[in-house]
Amino acid sequence: MNQGLRLKAFTLLQREVQEYRNSFLLTPLVVGGLLIFFMLASILLVNRISVFGASVMEVLVDEHSSGGLNITITLDDNEVAQNFIITDEEVDEGADAEAWNFSREWTFSPQRKEKLVEEIHEHVESLNLVLNVLHCLFLSLLLLVSINYLLGTLHQDRRDRSVLFWKSMPVSEWQEVGTKMVTVNLVIPGIYIAVSIVTQLAYVVLAMLLVWRMDMSPGEVVLGNLDFVSLFLGQLGGWLVWVLWTAPFYAWLLLSSAAARRSPLMLALAIPIALIIVTKVFLGIEFLSTGIGNHIPHIVEGDSGSMGFYMYGPSWLTLDYLGMLIGLVAAAAMLVAAVWFRKHRFEM
């Protein structure tokens, strides 16, 4: 019996992936492949730093560090040695000829590579931020794909009358709706996050190649500025918070897809906007608008209790667990409503 249920669940999930394989599989693979290709082309072919590569080097190398030449002039044994720093601007403008007219011993000591490496190491773990920005690109694509999938999945079945075929199969409405939620919360994010991690690792390798071409140590410059444990644990932790916080948002989209006669998007937008206007404008209550906004993925700045695109992973101590629990209860209620519409609404 359990084996039959597992086989049925696997078949349903396989059907979802095959039906939406372009959005689920091809989109992240193409995006990741293009990002890697452009970075590789910028290093090997053009020998220039791409837009993302430029941000990497801005982090690695402090552009505002002092430049120019360090000139040490030794007058004689009885006089004190003096150090002068000639900046790039002064070199370009040209120094006074008389100032250079001396017959004393003087030496040039340009900034050494070791000092540059020491300055680079001041930015420890700074590359985690760059890779997290890359990860947020995949999260944005994930959000768009998930919204499009949820709004169309149950509505399209009724539109092309394939719902009648599923009614003839030994599959309950609960299993269908549950499969949709599992797909959007586990299957799709699993694919996108896996591609994101592979892309990030590829960028690390390419960044090491870029540093090597600059006659520097890739291990010290690149790997020394990375903390893979906190990077990937933060991203996986953000995925967990994503699943828990977006449950009511995703359940509402699925309910709109099951209930809408014409446009699920219009239904999904019209009712929340109307409720927000009534409660906020006429009643002066902002609780509903704040609650809805917190459960929609957005950029989180600093320590915030709401869900969002976390750059450093979620701040577990500041999360609004009560709001999360209320959202899960609301999501369960909306899933029950989606199952009811799936059972009773066939017409378009």
Mean pLDDT of residues grouped by 10 in the chain (348 residues)?
A: 72 87 93 90 62 57 50 49 50 50 48 49 62 88 93 85 71 87 93 94 87 78 82 86 89 93 90 88 78 76 52 69 89 94 72
| CB neighbour list of residue 18: distance below 8 Å, 6 or more residues apart | none
Residue 135 lies in a domain: yes
Range of the domain at 326: 2-42+124-344
Radius of gyration of the chain from Cα atoms? 29
Task: Give yes or no: residues 299 and 215 share one domain.
Answer: yes
Measured CA to CA, the distance from residue 253 to residue 185 in angstroms comes to 13
pLDDT at residue number 346:
58
pLDDT at residue number 199:
94
pLDDT at residue number 63:
46
Angle between helix axes 321-344 and 247-259 (nearest 10 degrees) is 20
pLDDT at residue number 49:
46
Task: Give yes or no: residues 7 and 135 share one domain.
Answer: yes
Task: Give yes or no: residues 324 and 280 share one domain.
Answer: yes
Q: Within 10 A of 21 (CB to CB), how many other CB atoms are there?
A: 11
Domain edge (last residue) among 51, 82, 110: 110
Contact 294, 280 (CB under 8 A): no
Residue 60 lies in a domain: no
Residue 49 lies in a domain: no
The structure's pTM equals 0.72
Q: Given CA atoms 299, 302, 307, 312 in this order, what sign does their dihedral have? A: positive
Q: Within 10 A of 27 (CB to CB), how many other CB atoms are there?
A: 20
Residue 200 lies in a domain: yes
